Every structure is written in structure tokens, then in C-alpha cells.
Amino acid sequence: MHSHTRRTTVTTLKIALAIAILTYLFIQGRDGFVHLSERSLAWPFLAAAFLFSTAMATLSFVRWHILVRALDIDVRLVDSLRLGALGFALNFVSPGSIGGDFFKAVFLAHGHPGQRTEAVATVLADRILGLLTQLAMASCGILVTGLLHTGSPAVHVLCKFILIATIVGWVGFLITMIISGFSSGRIAERTKNFPVIGKTAARLLGTIHAYRQHIPMLLAAFGVSALVALCFVTTFYLIARGLQIDAPPWSQHVVIVPVAGMVSAIPLTPSGLGTMEFAVEELYKAMPNGAAIHPGDGTLVGLGRRVTDIVVALAGLAFYLSHRREVDEVLAEADATADADYTARGCD
């Protein structure tokens, strides 16, 4: 089977799975949807949620820009914001292999052909920083709210998993950054000898060394990442308030939202559609006051949050319309790259 056909098939299956999950959630939460029709919406909270979503997206583009500049890739902040906005929009309109992060890496490499590996590294670093920040925030929420000592066995297991994952993730990150041997010396030299991916892998390890030389910029990226995570949590809470839902308090959202975000990052459905809503629904019910939550309330909050993302993503259309020819060229290049990746992995 041709790689493009296979990718299309996989994307179709992902969309079907998302529809199946959402259908299940709608059936299980029909009482919650009925209750929503009986409530009056608190529009000031919903408007605030949109503002926080906008701030979250913008700050995430700034974080990526800092990581790009740390590798000495010459890009203006305004260009990073435009490219970030378009990549954000592509997560919704191009849910297949050419997602937002992949497109940003290809577009950045398109303008800097001598720094293709570094362009990919910035996207990977951006994802890693986001994950580490979410783990740290979730762990802080667990310790501050005392959720680790809750009577719910499911919440107890979840909290222990998050705390362990946080320790492992941060220790691994610090060791990688502190011990220079991971990015230079024998390990890097041996990596070059790997078949097919050796030189690329060695250059990726070299980017770690480059980031180690720009610790202030890396710390700045972590600071921005913390603000992104706070905005992410707050949007869910504000949407719950706007929908007049008896949702968990903000302090518990500090645990719920990062975990739901990590679940949605699992590439089972396009942009985590369905999986994120399912995670919020189940986590709402698992919290200590979960008995007060109507079935479907968590799903409604997740869908409301997704609507704010879609509205923010419309800003990416302005960049597309003003750079349509170049964007189309990069999309074609990204599609060809995705086909080549599938072929290299033996999928053709």
C-alpha cells in the first residue's frame, strides 16, 4: 500500500475513533446536556476563558521562539508568532500527519535549509518543556490539595503515578543537561555510526549542548511555560463557571487539566478529540466531590475548551491568506517528508 494511502487510512480510523468516543460520551452524559439547557450561561466567565485561551496560545508561541533563538536560528518574534498561529490552526484543519508541530519544523527548515535538524529539535524541546511543566504543576496540585490521601483508590493510584512520572522526568532532564557526555564526547561520537539516523541523531544530541550554553534562555522558556500551564488550567475552570457547572475547585483543576492534556497528546485521535473530553469527564467524577458532578458535565467543559481553541485558531488563517503560495509549497514538502518517513520505517 502506498504510504500516502496508508496515512489517509490511519487518519480516517483516528477520526472514526474520535466520533465513537464522543458518541459514547453524549449517550452517557445526556442528563448533563439536559441540565445545561436549563441553565443560564455566565458570559463574562466564558469571555474570560477565551482571553485566557488566546494568552495561552500566544505564550506558547513565545516559548517556542525562545527555544529557536537559543539555537541561533535567525527568526523574528513576529514571524514565530505567525508561524505558531498557523501551526495551531493546522491542528484542527489538517488532523493527519501534517499537524501543527510537524508543519512548524518543516516551515522553519524551509527558510533555514542548513539548520533542518535544529528546526526539528526546537519543536521536540518545546514539547518536552511543556510536558515537564505540566507534570510539575500536577504534582504541586496533588501535594497542596492533599489528593494523595483521598479515599478514592483510583485517584490515589493516579496521584502516585503522576508524582513518580514527575520525579523520573525531571531527574532525567537534569541529568541530561548536567552531564555533558550525553551531548558530546563518546556517546555523541558513537551515535554518528548508527545506520540511517546516526548523523541526524548526533546533531540532535548536539542541540542539547547548545541549550546548555544558553541556560538563561532555557530558564526563560520554562518561566513562559509555567504561564502557559496556568492559563491552560484556568480556561477549563472559567468554562465550568460559565456553564454553571458544579465543577471541582481551581486547585483540583491543577491536577485534572495537565493529566487530561497528557492523555490528549496520545496520538489515538486527531488533536486528542474525544480522548481529552473523556479524560476530563472521568477525572471530574474521580475527584473527592465527584458525586456532585452530573454525567456529561466534564464532557461539556472539554468541548467548551475546544471551542475556544478553534476560535483562536482562526487567527492562523490571516497568516495563510497573506503567505498562501509559500505555505502551500511547505505543505507539499511536509507531505512528501511524511511519505518518506513512512517509507523509511518500512510502512510502504
Domain range for 139 is 3-29+43-344
Torsion, CA 93, CA 95, CA 97, CA 101, rounded to 10:
70
DSSP of 304-341:
HHHHHHHHHHTHHHHHHHHTHHHHHHHHHHHHHHHHHH
For residue range 93-102, list pLDDT tens digits in order: 654 445 667 7
Residue with cell 508561541: 61
Residue 37 lies in a domain: no
Tally the domains of the chain.
1
Coil, helix or strand at residue 294: coil
Integer Cα distance of 302 and 310 in angstroms = 13
129 exposure class (CB count in 10 Å sphere: 0-12, 13-18, 19+): buried
Residue 276 lies in a domain: yes
Residue 305 lies in a domain: yes
Distance of CA 33 to the CA centre of its chain: 27
Coil, helix or strand at residue 131: helix
For residue range 21-77, list pLDDT tens digits in order: 888 777 876 776 777 767 788 999 999 999 999 999 999 999 999 999 988 888 889
For residue range 248-286, list pLDDT tens digits in order: 889 889 988 988 888 887 777 777 788 888 889 888 888
Residue 116 lies in a domain: yes
Reported pTM: 0.81
How confident is the prediction for the chain on average, in pLDDT?
Answer: 79
Residue 34 lies in a domain: no
pLDDT at 1: 46
* 203 Cβ contact list (under 8 Å, min separation 6): 117, 118, 121
pLDDT at 332: 67
Listed range (28-37, 119-128, 183-192, 200-209) with the worst mean pLDDT:
183-192
